[in-house]
Chains A and B, each alone.
Chain A
Amino acid sequence: MEKVTAKVFRYDPSTDDTYRYETYEVPYEKGMRVLGVLMYIQENVDTSLAFRYSCRRKRCGSCGVLVNGKPRLACMEEAKEEMVIEPLPNLPIVRDLVVETTEYEERIQSISPYLVRKNRPEREPEKLLPNNFTAVRPLNQCIECFSCMSACPVNGLKWEGFSGPATLIQLARRMLDPRDDMDRIPDAGQAGFEHCVACYACVNACPVEIGILEGVIENIKKKYTEKEPSVYGKYNKTWGDLIVKNGLVNPFTLMRKVSTFDKLLSNMVIGIKFFLKGKISLKSQKIPNIDEIRTIQKVIGEKR
């Protein structure tokens, strides 16, 4: 590869009616990153190109952009022969590739993203054992680049009540910290964790490889459902109960047990259509050796 052809999103809301794309040809250097391409354009072709960066080594999280439609850190993403470089979506554009992240920052601020200790430790200096921080440590790596927010399909819909994966990471950091003694359950409810669709798009986008689904959202789900009744909790529990009862989950039984009366009523039409197509079985299937599952559950319960 001798050169990089970069099609770059350009827009200045103070002067332009709409956005445009400009194409630049940049001489390729071995190991070149997207940030290097943008810096070359700014230094040699068009000084007005606006983009954010600071540390150039995956620590500050400020150079997040879309590269060929995928959220990436410009400082880490290898330059490709042909690239479309755009600002992170779903946010107001300040200029070109610079977006206004205040909305996301405010969401994070709303969940008190700091350690709250109402009670002093029993002994000082306090003994902090590494094992007690196993769950928190990976979450401390978050650089708030908001790549996860860009990748999340629910955040993309601006779904009411969902604060997005980056907010949930900060919430889980505190919920899982053994020193924190603030009741985080109301914030978890407010943050709308149950709207996560478990699609792993955030996990795939995270440049510091945080296991956002298992390490963050599933931990919040667990802690929340232990303390508060919720539709999600009912769904989750019913799923497990049906496996122990039958070995298989009949979707109709699951829906019937989880849905409220008004939800069931609103699903009547589609329910009848599914029934007429033979897609709903009123009788749950049971695996022949269901006793094995029950024995396993009993043994695990006893060991716990």
Chain B
Amino acid sequence: MTRHDWFDQGERLDQALATLPRDVPPARDLWSGIEAQLEPAAAGTALATRRNPWAWQLAAAVVLVAASSLITASLVRRDAAPRVAQAPAVPAPASVDAQALPAAFGPSHRLSPEYENAHRQLTAMLQERIGRMPASARGKLEDNLAQLRRAADAINQALAEEPGDPLLEELLLSTYQEELAVLAAANQLTAAGGPGPQPDSSRIQL
């Protein structure tokens, strides 16, 4: 085929593509199926706060999640069992659970009951035990969890603008998984008589 033929064919192809109807109605009316899934409150909720460009939120979330992991790792390494055992018992601050992650995967999905149970269980255990941690470590842990929750919140907002975005969905899942891992690590750290039975966060199905 000569170059001329190719251009000619390309032009004819473009013309043919341009003639295709953009609208192709479905063979059956899909409205009844859609209507059945419309929750009355969903679209009627108060208008969302104006968004920042989600790319910034996403970038911030990635940084926060990464930073959170590093902090947790260093926390677990430094504050080994002996220091925990020596730490005086103080009442657990209420702030650990005050801003617990909403158990929602994006604006339109629910997380699995298994995840919710594990999250609830780990949070409750940590509330009991956090008083055994040194104040500095406790502060870092609380900051760490708060950062993860802010990250999840930002990703959730971005997902609302880009529903179904695969990158955001994966990031949100990893953030939830990260939070479970932090909770589990903190519980292990604060366990008085060694780590007791607790949910294995690495095997939780989100």
Do A and B pair up? The answer is no
Q: Could you tell me which A residues sit within 8 Å of B by CB distance?
A: none
